[in-house]
Amino acid sequence: MPRPHLLVTRGNLLNFASDAWLLPTDRFLSFTDFWRGVPQLDDRARAALTPEFSDGRQVALALAPRDGEPTPVLTAVPDRALSDADDEDGLADIARRLQAFVEVAARTATTDRRTRRPLPLLAVPLFATSGGGSGPLRDAVLAQQLRVLRESAETFQVDITIVTLHADVHAFAQSRRRLDPVSSWPELEATALEEAQSLAERARRRRLVPFLGAGTSVSAGGPSWTGLLEKLGQEIGLDPETSEVLSGKNVLDQASYLATLFDEEQPGRFADAVAREIGSLERYGLAPALLTAIDSEQAITLNYDRLFETASEDAGVPRAVIPGDHEGDHERWLLKLHGTVDDASSIVLTRDDYLGFDSSRRALSSIVKATLATRHLLFVGFGLTDDHFHEIVHDVRRAFPSSASGTLATALTLFADPLDERLWQGRLRLVPMLPTPRDPSRVGEAARLLEIFLDALAAFATDAHSYLLARGHESAMTAAELRLRARLTALLREATAEERATGAWQEVAGMSERLGGEGR
């Protein structure tokens, strides 16, 4: 049985793919405006309400499951707020409620699974802190929440993700997890943890560029290439015998055959069917969410879906899409090399699409080549079998022979493959999640380890300290952090108008903003 794990990511719980999640309320079924995005919330809550929940004897209550959606679990916040960081009774009450949530959610997730993982995945916001963003004792609660959820995950054999919209909360949580890496990521071997830290160091220097393959969407319910083609074959009414023969062909030829059948009925119908199937994915999983922690101007994907765009938006780092309309003033961009569901005609899937790729998308390929030459790419969820990328890596190696002794990129793979290591030697550094040859029965185990690896990478890549001057974090700071906070606060408070008028003050103000202050 895999060891349960606690993860932390920025994001929006309403857009996050999990099996069950904590929906904060009180015993009177009061909800803040943020949670009103849950469909038919009031009706569903009243239908689930029990006398025990109303009188406080029960503090966690699952709503009726709905097809394809994570199950919300109503969890009552304490009737009274914490008095201070040493309020042991208050902290114990919060812990009791979190434990009750995990117990109910684990039971619900076991019978109504939404994710394809070895362990159910629960999602939790920052709990009992006035909406997760303004509680004066927020970090005392967060430190407690990290501990309680880690213990509860072990007790009930589930994985749990803390999901927050707030940059300072995310930064504080990651800073505390980094204090003890071995305890925070016990599932990772020492070499894997060192690899995550090494990649994170590149990310902090903004030299790491994520490259997302189809595997990053599978955790959210997205189909694999084979699964997508099987669904399309069913839609067009392919008989079982033909389906079996077709499955033995190259995926490009499978797609070409299906495209012929679809387009015989109506030109362009195949591309529309692909866009409709992929476009139905609305909730992102762990991989896209965790990869948003890599602070890179560039990102590249082969995927058609919008999951990484949505995750980036929710994490406060929106990206312009190339090709696209480029609405908004975004300094970061996402290159969708094989097209997007927003423009079905742009999708590259059949052999004809691939053969026409160079002539129609030479400029996009040039962007990838330039990125390979000036940054370090991180391939995630990518099988390394795309002929187009063999060509790109070859071209860059030929154009930049000085890189011959080093690697251009790192690929996170599920299993070890000595042949692949030999094939890609000097071009790609392969980092397997399991040190064994591919075993179909262990794909889920390896994919989960990949998520945990990305969790560690995200934690070490989060170089922000935006909690230091922000309100609500004093309760859980170390003595050294409190002294530094006091010194900086005094500097900002006591600076004269003349000092603020100097050119150097803009740097000081910028530092203040990055540390969570008002920056003036």
pTM: 0.89
Same domain, 417 and 340: yes
Whether residue 49 is found in the same domain as residue 147: yes
- Identify the band that residue 387 occupies on the pLDDT scale cut at 50, 70 and 90: low
What's the DSSP call for residue 425? T
User: pLDDT digit string (tens) for 51-88?
Assistant: 999 999 999 999 999 888 999 999 999 988 777 777 88
pLDDT at residue 121 above 50? yes
Q: Are residues 186 and 291 in the same domain?
A: no
- Whether residues 212 and 244 fall in one domain: no
* Residue 88 included in any domain: yes
- Do 182 and 244 fall into the same domain? no
Alpha-carbon gap, residue 164 to 83, rounded angstroms: 24
pLDDT score at 48: 96
Q: Give me 481's structure tokens.
A: 């952090």
Same domain membership, residue 215 and residue 187: no
CATH number for the domain spanning 344: value is 3.40.50
Using the 3D structure, point to which of 235, 250, 279 is the last residue of a domain.
Answer: 279
Tell me the average pLDDT across 319-342. Answer: 84
Same domain, 247 and 289: no
The whole-angstrom separation of Cα 166 and Cα 314 is: 10
Q: Is 453 a member of any domain? A: yes
CB neighbours of 241 closer than 8 A, spacing ≥ 6?
none
Do both 21 and 64 map to the same domain?
yes
Which is more confident, 327 or 333?
A: 333
| Residue 418 maps to a domain | yes
60-62 and 71-76: which strand pairing? antiparallel
Interatomic CA distance for residues 36 and 25, integer angstroms = 11
pLDDT, residue 134, reads 41
The radius of gyration of the chain's CA atoms, rounded to the nearest angstrom, is 25
Dihedral of the CA atoms 389, 392, 397, 400 (nearest 10)? -140
Considering the domain boundaries, does residue 145 fall inside one? yes
Question: Which domain-ending residue is among 279, 299, 324?
Answer: 279
Domain count, the chain: 4
At which residue do the structure tokens 């067009």 appear? Answer: 236
CA–CA gap between residue 424 and residue 407 (Å, rounded): 9
Residue range 279-293, pLDDT digits in tens: 888 899 999 999 999
Question: Is pLDDT above 60 for 133?
Answer: no
Tell whether 32 is covered by a domain.
Answer: yes
Of residues 85 and 461, more confidence is placed in 461
pLDDT band at 378 (very low <50, low <70, confident <90, very high): very high
User: Is there a single domain that holds both residue 158 and residue 294?
Assistant: no
Q: Are 168 and 504 in contact (CB under 8 A)?
A: no
Is 299 strand, coil or helix? Answer: strand
pLDDT of 343 above 50 = yes
Range of the domain at 504: 478-514
Q: Are residues 315 and 421 in the same domain?
A: yes
Q: Is residue 1 part of a domain?
A: no
* pLDDT band for position 404 (cuts 50, 70, 90): very low
Task: For residues 194 and 134, state if they share a domain.
Answer: yes
pLDDT at 510: 81
Secondary structure of residue 60 in the 3-state scheme:
strand
CB 192 within 8 Å of CB 453: yes
For residues 21 and 63, membership in a common domain is answered with yes
Q: Which of 31, 267, 19 is nearest to 120 (CA)?
A: 19
What's the whole-number average pLDDT of the chain?
Answer: 87
Please answer whether residues 506 and 500 qualify as being in contact, where contact means their C-beta atoms are separated by less than 8 angstroms: no
Dump the DSSP string for 309-373. Answer: HHHHHHTT--EEEESS---S--SEEEEETT-BTTBGGG---SHHHHHTHHHHHHHHHHHHHHHHH
